């Protein structure tokens, strides 16, 4: 049965979290309950990472499959030894460069970490979030917090408290509403247990920044089917998906936009309700069509921050299909493309002419 609770919504000032509210949420965590809280990436659904029963509530509330591990959040680098063992020397260098921040490291897990945190693997995903509310909660609770995104499994991740409530109202004890998140796509996940450090999920720390420290870092996109064992969060082939069918078109802008226009016209002729996911600069190319448009801003940072909210907006408009143009691969664009590909369940069309 899904975990149920009478959900309390607590508005918290981002840069000056109320000690009383943080104490209340900390008590809930220590008692085995669930707390949704903002990080710099997305909202997380948190439980005491050392309490197997509490962690099981996360899977129940999200309807998340047990083969999908979750990230453990810590307050300080000195806390790594609580959840990880055989910590590589490279961790110190990466922590100095990127923590607190959107970098998750895969290491060998400590024996005290329950198996349901790690999908029964011998590795654990760890990060230190760069958000005052998240850090206040971690410090006040005194426990590591296991926290995937605070949404129903496979849905677009939540970047606002209202997204959490839409998916998990009645299935989380308290939602700490700290406003919109900053980055909007999840953390970068780097596996330090392989012979060569390997990027498992692109995210808020660009691959180029990792290469400044680890020149030989590897990256091969992983698309694990739902019945497979995911090596880290965010590697299942279907993830972040809207209710409408999303298709992503990849290629030069001046070729892709007319192609999307023709595809949209075809769907409209079939009486489909069409949604478009577009950068601001592309919108004028579709003003002649009766379609719903969710805009993504003018740069990759804004696109990352807007992506999940835009997908939810189009779902709320009850569109049947969503068409989108893939961004460039550099910087945050790599993470955005990854999220779009998974949200589209692999429906990415290369447009060349």
Tens of pLDDT, residues 114-168 = 999 999 999 999 999 999 999 999 999 999 999 999 999 999 999 999 999 999 9
* Same domain assignment for residues 188 and 318: no
Determine if residue 41 is labeled as part of a ligand binding site. Answer: yes
HSE, CB side, 13 Å, CA atoms: give it for residue 33: 21
Contact 338, 207 (CB under 8 A): no
First to last CA, the chain: 51
* Same domain assignment for residues 79 and 215: yes
User: How does DSSP assign 255-314, residue by residue?
Assistant: HHHHHHHHHHHHHHHTT--EEEEE-GGGGGGGTTS--EEEE--SSHHHHHHHHHHHHHHH
Q: Which of 176, 203, 219 is the last residue of a domain?
A: 219
Determine if residue 201 is labeled as part of a ligand binding site. Answer: yes
State the residue for tokens 């006040």: 140
Per-residue confidence (pLDDT) for residue 234, from 0 to 100: 72
Is residue 234 domain-resident? no
Give the SS3 label for residue 139.
helix
Q: What is the DSSP letter of 156?
A: P
CA 171 distance to own-chain centroid: 19
Q: What is the CATH number of the domain that holds 128?
A: 3.90.870.10
Dihedral Cα 33, 37, 42, 45, nearest 10 deg: 0
How many domains, the chain?
2
Cα(202)–Cα(188) distance, integer angstroms: 5
Q: What is the CATH number of the domain that holds 297?
A: 3.40.50.11030
Greatest alpha-carbon pair distance for the chain in Å reads: 61
Determine if residue 240 is labeled as part of a ligand binding site. Answer: yes
Per-residue confidence (pLDDT) for residue 228, from 0 to 100: 65
* Same domain assignment for residues 15 and 113: yes
Contact 4, 170 (CB under 8 A): yes
* Same domain assignment for residues 12 and 55: yes
Determine if residue 149 is labeled as part of a ligand binding site. Answer: yes
Determine if residue 73 is labeled as part of a ligand binding site. Answer: yes
Residues of the chain under the 50 pLDDT cut = none
* Same domain assignment for residues 260 and 208: no
Other C-beta atoms lying within 10 Å of the C-beta of residue 220: 7
* Same domain assignment for residues 50 and 121: yes
Is residue 228 domain-resident? no
Is residue 229 domain-resident? no
Per-residue confidence (pLDDT) for residue 353, from 0 to 100: 75
- Span 87-113, pLDDT tens digits: 999 999 999 999 999 999 999 999 999
On the question of a cis peptide bond just before residue 100, with omega within 30 degrees of 0, the verdict is yes
Q: 39, 10, 6: which is closest to 177 by C-alpha?
A: 10
Contact 282, 132 (CB under 8 A): no
Beta bridge partners of 84: 109
Other C-beta atoms lying within 10 Å of the C-beta of residue 47: 32
Contact 119, 234 (CB under 8 A): no
**136: domain range?**
8-219
* Same domain assignment for residues 65 and 127: yes
Determine if residue 147 is labeled as part of a ligand binding site. Answer: yes
How much of the chain is helix, strand and coil, in % rounded to 5? 35, 20, 45
* Same domain assignment for residues 89 and 139: yes
Determine if residue 187 is labeled as part of a ligand binding site. Answer: yes
């Amino acid at each position: 049965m899904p975990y149920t609770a009478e959900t309390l919504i607590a508005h918290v000032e981002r840069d000056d979290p109320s000690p009383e509210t943080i104490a209340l949420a900390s008590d809930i965590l220590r008692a085995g309950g669930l707390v949704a809280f903002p990080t710099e990436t997305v909202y997380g659904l948190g439980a005491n990472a050392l309490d197997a029963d509490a962690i099981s509530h996360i899977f129940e509330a999200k309807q998340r499959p047990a083969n999908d591990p979750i990230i453990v959040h810590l307050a300080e680098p000195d806390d790594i030894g609580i959840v990880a063992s055989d910590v590589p020397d490279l961790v110190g260098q990466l922590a100095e460069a990127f923590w607190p921040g959107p970098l998750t490291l895969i290491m060998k897990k400590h024996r005290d970490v329950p198996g349901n945190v790690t999908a029964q693997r011998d590795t654990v995903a760890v990060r230190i979030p760069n958000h005052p509310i998240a850090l206040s909660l971690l410090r006040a609770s005194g426990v590591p917090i296991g926290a995937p995104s605070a949404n129903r499994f496979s849905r677009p991740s939540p970047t606002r408290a209202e997204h959490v409530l839409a998916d998990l109202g009645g299935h989380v004890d308290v939602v700490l509403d700290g406003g919109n998140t900053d980055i909007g796509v999840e953390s970068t996940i780097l596996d330090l247990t392989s012979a060569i450090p390997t990027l498992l999920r692109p995210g808020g720390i660009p691959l180029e920044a990792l290469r400044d420290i680890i020149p030989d870092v590897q990256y091969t996109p992983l698309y694990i089917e739902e019945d497979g064992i995911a090596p880290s969060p965010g590697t299942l082939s279907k993830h972040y998906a809207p209710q409408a069918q999303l298709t992503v078109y990849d290629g030069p802008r001046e070729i892709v936009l007319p192609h999307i226009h023709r595809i949209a016209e075809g769907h409209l002729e079939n009486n489909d309700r069409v949604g478009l996911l577009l950068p601001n600069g592309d919108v004028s190319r579709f003003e002649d069509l009766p379609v719903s448009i969710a805009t993504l801003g003018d740069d990759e940072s804004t696109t990352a921050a807007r992506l999940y909210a835009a997908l939810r907006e189009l779902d709320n408009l009850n569109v049947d299909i969503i068409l989108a143009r893939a961004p460039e691969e550099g910087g945050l664009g790599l993470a955005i493309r990854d999220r779009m590909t998974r949200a589209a369940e692999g429906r990415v069309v290369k447009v060349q002419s």
